[in-house]
Structure 1
Amino acid sequence: MNNNQNNVVKSFPETKTHQNKLFRLIKSTLLLSLLLFISIFALTAFFSSLPPSPARIFYSISSAVIPSSSYRSCNLSTHESGPTRLDHILFGLGGASKTWETRRVYSQLWWDPNTTRGFVWLDDNPPKMSPGRSFPPYRVSVRAWYSLSPTQNTPSSSDRMARILKESFELGLPGVRWFVMGDDDTVFFPENLVRVLSKYDHREMYYIGGSSESVEQDVMHGYETAFGGGGFAVSYGLACELVGILDGCINRYHNYYGSDEKVSACVAELGVPLTKEPGFHQLDVRGDVYGILAAHPVAPLVSLHHLVGAKPLFPGENQVDSLRRLLHAYKADPGLTIQQSFCYDHSRKWSVSISWGYTVQLYPSLISSKVLSVPLQTFHTWRSGSEGPFVFNTRPMRDDPCERPIIYYLDQIKEIGEGKTLSTYKRAAAADGKECAQPAYKNALSVENITVSASKTGPKKWMKAPRRECCEIRNSPTVYSNMRIMIRSCKPRESITI
């Protein structure tokens, strides 16, 4: 018994020594963990305040693959197959509560509550709202949880609008294949938008839109940025990946000017390039957009922007009424709207350029289609108001009336027979009142109206290469100073010698 007691007594100091060592080890571990956490937090705050740079590429990419807490899982296998329809598109329009009441008139022009889906996202409830369903319903953006800029107390409006994609996605609405972003004054042409997006698989990662027309804007904001006013489309496959990183990414690019530039930077972190479609029009130009629309590229017209304050599309009308006139033609034949065609009358040595549903230009001389396809410069750059440069070639609109075309604007349009339209264009007086006195011009000025007969474009028109068709000029009887020209079967960018 005594020996056992002695052994027990001797073990007490050894046990206490081991406990002290264990306590010191735990204390040291906790202290090191705390110091490490503080260091990581401080470094994160420091790097978040810096502008993005190539040196931080690893930081950006590694952050991009860490999903946020609000990330929703995607199951693309549940998506139905078949052609893309308008109800597969969810529009997300950026707006402000103070201006929505006045600017929504542009959305009313194209929005159909029975066929279009989406919302305009505002910073607050608008002060007043007139009743009606002919414009998009509104939602108020939530305040983002991401870190604020050290120099600002609240998130910027561009940060808020950059998150519209995320908020639209998180609504979880069924059957959405594409998220289309735009502004509250963007005029979309929905059927043509469907035709464009139908070419792409929404389950893949696609970022589709257009850049600015003015080089100075593209240099400043990036040629790989889809400008938001003209609208851009994000496939469901890309949205699944993008929404998981968007808040943290917006915080990294907080100092970028526009929401579209921020979204572009986030898309670039995922390695997805911009797919350009020429039917998206930011219209970063000042003055008269006539020259651009009269020589539209051979592609469906998808959107128009920056029309507030611009010269009306049709003379003698305000901009909203001008757009109504253009949309009237669009409803008659969406795929052919403002598509350019060429016709020649060699007996008179006349050249005719047609922007279907909008305008006709008559030249009392023979001009190559290569020249006619170049837009007349009736506009200036967006930022500096200079003569250029633009991302396309231009030709000058001369002061000399003998070097300008005789211009006609759409007067009326109607459907005739099975799948055909008849549109009439009326001669407009020169803006400066000057007319060329040369004999060739005097004969051409006797043409008061030009009528175009055309076959409608089918829904699959833009899914295949254009088919070459005839373009024929016929003259109706001359009634003194009023002469009418009939042009039949004109298709985009077709020309024929007659």
Structure 2
Amino acid sequence: MSSPTPSIQDPFKAWKFLVLPTLKVSDVFSLFLKATIAICTFVSISLVFYSFLNQSQWQPCPECHKSLISDHMKITNGNVSGDFYEKTNISHVLFGIGGSAKTWNKRRHYTELWWMPNITRGYVWLDQKPPENRTWPDTSPEYKVSADTSRFKYTCSYGSRSALRIARIVKESFELGEENVRWFVMGDDDTVFFIENLVMVLAKYDHNQMYYIGGNSESVEQDVIHSYTMAYGGGGFAISYPLAKELVRVLDGCIDRYASFYGSDQKIQGCMSEIGVPLTKELGFHQVDIRGDPYGLLAAHPLAPLVSLHHLDYVQSIFPKLNRIDSVKKLISSYKMDPGRVLQYSFCYDLTRNWSVSASWGYTIQIHPSLMPAKQLESAFRTFQTWRSWSNGPFTFNTRPMSQHPCLRPVVYFLDRVERVGDGTLTTYKRSVQEFGQVCDLPEYAPVLAVKLVNVTTSTSLKPDIWNLVSYFSLLAFLEKL
């Protein structure tokens, strides 16, 4: 018996009524053109209507490019002479330091700690010419007087109009037309730069691209009020030549558009947003937006070269029994011996004694008479408070409390001296005497308290290339998460 032949139906038969009639090419083009014109007209009318209703909110940027810059734009820097592949060095950096004629004589000592006449390039920008009866010190950078800013708007009720002048330092520095400049570095008159490390950091980046490099505030309350995407000016920030060229073109109009912003650095960041270049964060730039004792911050420095310190007049001296300037000089003494290693934090365990030992090279040693978890050791002791409210946090990094009880804190040693030994160094740290002579009388503390000095030796200096490896492995770790 034969089986019935299955019927095959046209699956598209039911849809034939949707098939368009035969059209000429010219008709299709005409319909498409009419539809496009209709859509564009509708969108244009909608935008005009929206703009009319929102005139107070819509602020155009006439200086900005018509197209958004979504990535770092590569631009050939015509101002750079010599070998294109020459490695970035200090001669390629032009500093712009915000200062005041009234306060410079008092605050210049911080700048003079790092400034090297005839080597470093740049200027202190003052609000007015210094008194004629005062000789400008040879140890200070040359000064220039900022242009008048009275034509610009400033509407921040709790700020100072000096922010306008300081924001324009990068523009006035650029317009000097100095040759062979790859980076414009801005800072305050109380910013201490560690210039070898600064150059080491900048050399990682292609100066022919648009880069805006710096760091955030340590206090979350400051970042919330101002911005997480802003390079804080006191900690210093760097702008590559191509980005400076674009910034100079839009800056004055941008300053007026952000008239309500408090600080110069906030205004600069607003302009960067319009240009389309984000902040590249480097952890070695330190705004030091903290109060109290900075010990915990410096004793657990992140894995990055120390580039800058700021606000040192607003915190306690970083070394006991020394004033602020002499304290920084002492830190610089170890920095000069091994720039890349200074403040680099590491810890280890002495399993024969059950000790945990941590070191911030060139600054301090801590010994715990017990085996501490690594997670605790890598967190900074909270010896400080937030900048604005003097609170115990939050901060942009992990912290742990520093007990006042001598039996609940490590035995602390501070740098005593540093010397060169062959290709390496020998640093000696001396035990710090606690206030009021308080020491722990528990038996496990006795062996540690018997240690008066700690010697740390290194066989070689920390080479700059190590930071390229750190960046490389950080990138690999990031890619693995994707």
Is the 2:367–2:410 Cα contact (8 Å) retained in structure 1? yes
Shift of 1:95: 0.9
Whether 2:60 is the aligned partner of 1:60: answer yes
Is the 2:210–2:241 Cα contact (8 Å) retained in structure 1? yes
Is the 2:99–2:127 Cα contact (8 Å) retained in structure 1? yes
**Aligned match of 1:409 in 400, 410, 414?**
414
Shift of 1:400: 1.7
Structure 2 letter corresponding to 1:389? P
Partner of 1:76: 77
In the TM superposition, 1:417-432 aligns within 5 A as 417=422, 419-432=423-436
**Aligned match of 2:353 in 348, 356, 359?**
348
Shift of 1:98: 0.5
Partner of 2:224: 219
**Aligned match of 1:176 in 181, 190, 203?**
181
In the TM superposition, 1:43-122 aligns within 5 A as 55-56=57-58, 59-65=59-65, 76-77=77-78, 79=80, 80-122=84-126
Is the 2:289–2:311 Cα contact (8 Å) retained in structure 1? yes
Q: What 5-or-longer segments of structure 2 have no aligned partner?
A: 1-50, 67-74, 474-482
Give me the whole-angstrom Cα distance separating, in 1, the residues matched to 2:467 and 2:76: 30
The alignment partner of 1:465 has SS state of helix
In the TM superposition, 1:290-439 aligns within 5 A as 290-417=295-422, 419-439=423-443
TM-score, with structure 2 as normaliser: 0.81
Shift of 1:431: 2.7
CA spacing shift, 1:260–1:93, aligned 2, 3 Å = same
Partner of 2:246: 241
Structure 1 letter corresponding to 2:257? R
Which segments of structure 1 move beyond 6 Å, counting only runs of 4 or more? none
Shift of 1:442: 1.1
Partner of 1:232: 237
Give me the whole-angstrom Cα distance separating, in 2, the residues matched to 1:412 and 1:334: 16
The alignment partner of 1:367 has SS state of coil
Question: Residues 125-147 of structure 1: CA distance to partner in whole angstroms, max 9, x if unpaired?
Answer: 12354453222111100114754
CA spacing shift, 1:63–1:432, aligned 2, 3 Å = farther
CA spacing shift, 1:395–1:435, aligned 2, 3 Å = same
Partner of 1:69: none
RMSD across aligned positions (CA):
2.3
Give me the whole-angstrom Cα distance separating, in 2, the residues matched to 1:99 and 1:151: 23
Whether 2:162 is the aligned partner of 1:161: answer no
Question: Residues 272-291 of structure 1: CA distance to partner in whole angstroms, max 9, x if unpaired?
Answer: 11110000000100001100
The alignment partner of 2:138 has SS state of coil
In the TM superposition, 1:8-27 aligns within 5 A as none
Shift of 1:149: 4.8
Q: What 5-or-longer segments of structure 1 have no aligned partner?
A: 1-42, 67-73, 469-498
Give me the whole-angstrom Cα distance separating, in 2, the residues matched to 1:150 and 1:322: 39
Give me the whole-angstrom Cα distance separating, in 1, the residues matched to 2:439 and 2:173: 54
Structure 1 letter corresponding to 2:64? A
Structure 1 letter corresponding to 2:331? L
Structure 2 letter corresponding to 1:402? C
CA spacing shift, 1:95–1:428, aligned 2, 3 Å = same
In the TM superposition, 1:262-277 aligns within 5 A as 262-277=267-282
The alignment partner of 1:124 has SS state of coil
Give me the whole-angstrom Cα distance separating, in 2, the residues matched to 1:171 and 1:75: 19
The alignment partner of 2:124 has SS state of strand
Partner of 1:284: 289
CA spacing shift, 1:150–1:361, aligned 2, 3 Å = closer
**Aligned match of 1:126 in 127, 130, 133?**
130
Give me the whole-angstrom Cα distance separating, in 2, the residues matched to 1:461 and 1:374: 23
The alignment partner of 1:193 has SS state of helix
Structure 2 letter corresponding to 1:64? C
Is the 2:155–2:260 Cα contact (8 Å) retained in structure 1? no
Shift of 1:81: 2.6
The alignment partner of 1:314 has SS state of coil
Is the 1:120–1:137 Cα contact (8 Å) retained in structure 2? yes
CA spacing shift, 1:350–1:245, aligned 2, 3 Å = same
Structure 1 letter corresponding to 2:128? D
Structure 2 letter corresponding to 1:219? V
Structure 2 letter corresponding to 1:83? K
Question: Residues 220-240 of structure 1: CA distance to partner in whole angstroms, max 9, x if unpaired?
Answer: 001001100000000111111
Give me the whole-angstrom Cα distance separating, in 2, the residues matched to 1:413 and 1:439: 32
CA spacing shift, 1:345–1:159, aligned 2, 3 Å = same
Give me the whole-angstrom Cα distance separating, in 2, the residues matched to 1:466 and 1:246: 32
Give me the whole-angstrom Cα distance separating, in 1, the residues matched to 2:155 and 2:192: 37
Shift of 1:401: 1.0
Aligned residues with identical type, % of pairs: 53
The alignment partner of 1:395 has SS state of strand
Partner of 2:13: none
CA spacing shift, 1:147–1:337, aligned 2, 3 Å = closer
The alignment partner of 2:349 has SS state of strand
Is the 1:180–1:233 Cα contact (8 Å) retained in structure 2? yes
Give me the whole-angstrom Cα distance separating, in 1, the residues matched to 2:441 and 2:340: 39
CA spacing shift, 1:467–1:223, aligned 2, 3 Å = closer
Partner of 1:206: 211
Question: Residues 21-75 of structure 1: CA distance to partner in whole angstroms, max 9, x if unpaired?
Answer: xxxxxxxxxxxxxxxxxxxxxx9xx97xx6xxxx42xx33444349xxxxxxx96
Shift of 1:343: 2.2
Give me the whole-angstrom Cα distance separating, in 1, the residues matched to 2:156 and 2:188: 27
CA spacing shift, 1:89–1:405, aligned 2, 3 Å = same
Shift of 1:159: 0.5
Whether 2:452 is the aligned partner of 1:451: answer no
Partner of 1:187: 192
The alignment partner of 1:224 has SS state of coil
Structure 2 letter corresponding to 1:370? K
Shift of 1:77: 4.3
Shift of 1:433: 2.8
Question: Residues 105-141 of structure 1: CA distance to partner in whole angstroms, max 9, x if unpaired?
Answer: 0001010013211011010012354453222111100
